Amino acid sequence: MAVERTLAIIKPDAVGRGISGDILSRIHAAKFKIVAIRSMRLTKAEAEGFYAVHRERPFFKELTEFMSSGKMVVMALEAENAILKWRDTMGATDPAKAAPGTIRKELGTSIQNNCTHGSDAPQTAAFEIGYFFAGHQLV
């Protein structure tokens, strides 16, 4: 298996509920290396840029409003097969359909308020990591 990187976000719903530490503990327990991490709040325009691929979807406005509604924690994670590994750790987008033991099953409250985001492919991960971190921050 190849070592790869993925973007992980602890979303505003989770930060607002004070469960970032629980999610970070799960990241450490899953043996991810946190290559870069920062706490931030996106502007509406920044959220629209990040989710530009979804611009024509009906949920775009609600998604970008939510993602710019409060602080979040963004991270570049590294591990063998990191993209799939992080997606498995998070669980399905809908917490009601997520596997037992996953972050979204145990901590998520709805499809939107599902606590975490993760890249879905190597190309997406490259774009997403680059959106939040400059190359010199990823050493």
The answer to whether position 57 is within a domain reads: no
Whether 123 shows a pLDDT value over 80: the answer reads: yes
What single-letter DSSP state applies at residue 101? T
| Tens of pLDDT, residues 50-66 | 999 999 999 999 999 99
Q: How far apart are CA 19 and CA 29, in angstroms?
A: 16
Q: Please indicate whether residue 136 is annotated as part of the active site.
A: no
The answer to whether position 51 is within a domain reads: no
Burial of 79 (0-12, 13-18, 19+ CB in 10 A): buried
Whether 134 shows a pLDDT value over 80: the answer reads: yes
The answer to whether position 102 is within a domain reads: yes
The answer to whether position 46 is within a domain reads: no
The answer to whether position 48 is within a domain reads: no
The answer to whether position 128 is within a domain reads: yes
The answer to whether position 63 is within a domain reads: no
How, if at all, do strands 3-10 and 116-118 pair? antiparallel
Domain count, the chain: 1
Out of 28, 54, 117, 136, the active site residue is 117
CATH at 120: 3.30.70.141
- The whole-number pLDDT of residue 139 equals 81
